[in-house]
Structures are given as C-alpha cells and as structure tokens.
Amino acid sequence: MNSRSDGRQKLPIMIPTKVICIDGISGSGKSTTSQRLWLHLLKSGLSARWLYEHGPDSPIWRGAERFRLSESGITDPSIVHDLVVSRWKTLAAELGTGSTIAVMESSLLHSTVGIMLAMDFDQSAILNCLEEVNQVIGALSPVSIYLFANDVGSALRAVCDERRHDQFEAPLIELLSKTRYAKTHGLDGFDGAAQFFRHCRDITDLAFSRLEFPKLAIEYSARDWKSYERQITDFLGLPEIPPVADHVDRPTRFVGRYKDPTSDADFVVAADDKGLYLDDARGTRLMYDRGSTFYVNAVWLEISFENESGGSFERVALKGHLDHLSPVWIRVSE
C-alpha cells in the first residue's frame, strides 16, 4: 500500500541511496517534507516507501512503545541500544535486497535521542547507540536531512500555539512529566518541555556532526518551505518538487460532511481559494494526487472521493496508516 511504481520514465538520483533519513522536532516540517519527497520520488518513476513516524509499520519505534519506554523503570541503556540496533539490522537486510528507497521520518536521530534522554541515559550511551546504527546502515548508502531551529523554545512555542492545547501542548507536558529525566531534573510545564528539547537538540547536533555519509542541515525558523524543498532536491540530485495544485475543478463536489457508518465519527471537507482542506482545528490541507484522490497533508492517509451524483460525491474511501479508521465514509446532510 505504501510502495508504487507507475511505469513512468525513471529519473536518476545523483546520490545513490536506499534510505533518506529526515529528522527534527515536532513542528519542524519533517512529516510534510517526508510525505512530499516520497510522492515526488513515486511520480519520478522510482520505487519508494514513506515510513511514517506514527504509522503501524514504523520499523524502529512502534506506536505507543516509545511512550511506554520513556515511562518505564529501565535503567540499563544496553537494553534500548540492543533493541534499536537489532531493528535497524532487520530493516537494512530488507532494504538491501531491493531497489526501494525508504524515506525514514524521525527514525535515525531525533526519536532515539528523545526516548533515551527521557529515560535519563547519559549522552555517551545515546551517541554510542547511534554510532552503531550508522555502521549497520552503511551498506544502504544513507543520507540524512536534519531540520533544526536555533531557538528551540520559540519553535516549540510556535507549534504549541498552532495546534490545539488539549491535543498537543497539554499531552506533551503530561507525557514528559512522567519520565525519569523530568523527575531527576525537576522539570515542569512548558519551560520544562523546552529545556528537555534543548538538551535533545544539543545531543542531536553532536550526533549529526559525526555522521560520515552525505547530510544536509536546514534551519527552518524562517518557514520558507519552498526554499527548503529546493535545497533538499538539489542535495539529492532530483528535479524540483512541483507546488501543490491550488486549483480543484468544481470544489463544491467535494465539500460536505462525511460520516463513518459504523460509529458517530465524522469529518468535514471545506474549500477556499487554495483548494480543499479538512475543517478541523488546524485546517489540514488535502494535497491533490490524481483523479479525485488526495493525500492528507503530513499524514499517511489517502482519501478518494467516489460515487458522484447530482453534482456531489456521495462517499469517500480512506487508505493509509491509521488503522483505527473505517475504510468508507458516507456523505450526510447538514
């Protein structure tokens, strides 16, 4: 479901690689960047997989496992070290036998640093783990793209303000409060979270500096995403990623409320001069792919509108890595 080759003419990548690692804290743009790069590779005729950070098939850190570990009483870093290295070995063996390029989101550096630091492991243990991972994946000719902010506190404040407090900031603070790192260092509230992520960035910066394969660092505080994408495609030797299509033919066909027939869940599709979006707290954009099919921005979720009748689509089909969602949703009257 997350690999596709359309039989189109293949375009070469100047950096031959089987794994592109994209790292950064929440709000750094890594999910959108990973998704758009993955789709660009596919449309260039290449076989590619986006290993979505929150997807059920994320090969290194799996779902809520990272939270359970960060709250556990494990004090021996070798347990986490061996777990991480073994999973990278499994993935390296899988990718080494084919031609698929894996776009890895927050797997090489940030998640591992964050989890091990939350468990209050010292810097040397974290760096030793990452150095062995780098040796394991060397045969895949990896590349690393690191999205960072000079002012971590301001970057974290911006993403907290952008997202609903009860869906991001409050859960983040609660999660960190349960970790051994927070308890040891007396961290509390937003300031405590900012201090934790500053420490994460210090270690991540050091780990990134030690990588011995091609790498690109982008300071993203200006939020000039078009420029950043161009830096990434130049770095990889790819043509420029085209902009998201703004125009949607007869957008009213798509607009409406769609309900899960098996539950009370629903969502609303709206439109403006930039195209379609979900009428949620963030106004999540729908990225045009083909026909009447779109991708939800920064989420591994494909949404296809079906059964057009009387000038409106009557249902949508969902595919992706949110396995709790119903595959078919029906248009309902307001």
Per-residue pLDDT tens over the stretch 261-311 = 999 899 999 999 889 999 987 889 999 988 899 999 988 899 999 999 989
Q: Which one-letter amino acid corresponds to residue 95?
A: L
pLDDT at 127: 98
Helix (H) or strand (E) holding 146: strand 143-148
- What percent of the residues of the chain are helix, what percent strand, and what percent coil, each to the nearest 5? 40, 20, 40
Q: Two tokens at 92?
A: 């390296």
Which position has the higher pLDDT, 138 or 334? 138
Kindly report the pTM of this predicted structure. Answer: 0.89
Within its chain, how far is the Cα of 291 from the centroid? 25
CATH domain 19-236 topology: Rossmann fold (3.40.50)
Q: Which sequence spans correspond to the domains of the chain? A: 19-236, 251-332
Cβ-proximal residues to 86 (8 Å cutoff; 6+ apart), any chain: none
d(CA 36, CA 229): 9
Give residue-wise pLDDT tens across range 95-134: 999 999 999 999 999 999 999 999 999 999 999 999 999 9
Domains 19-236 and 251-332 share a fold: no
Q: 251-332 sits in which CATH class?
A: mainly beta
Determine the straight-line distance between the first and last CA of the chain, rounded to whole angstroms. Answer: 33
Rg for the chain (alpha carbons), in Å? 21
Torsion of the alpha carbons at 280, 323, 37 and 9, rounded to the nearest 10: -130
Other CB atoms within 10 A of residue 128 CB: 15
pLDDT at 112: 95
d(CA 196, CA 65): 20
CA distances from residue 46 to 6, 43, 101, 202, 242 in whole angstroms, order as listed: 8, 7, 8, 35, 16
Q: Looking at the predicted structure, is the pLDDT value of residue 7 above 60?
A: no
What proportion of the chain, given as a percentage, has pLDDT over 90? Answer: 73
Lowest mean pLDDT among 8-22, 73-87, 240-254: 8-22
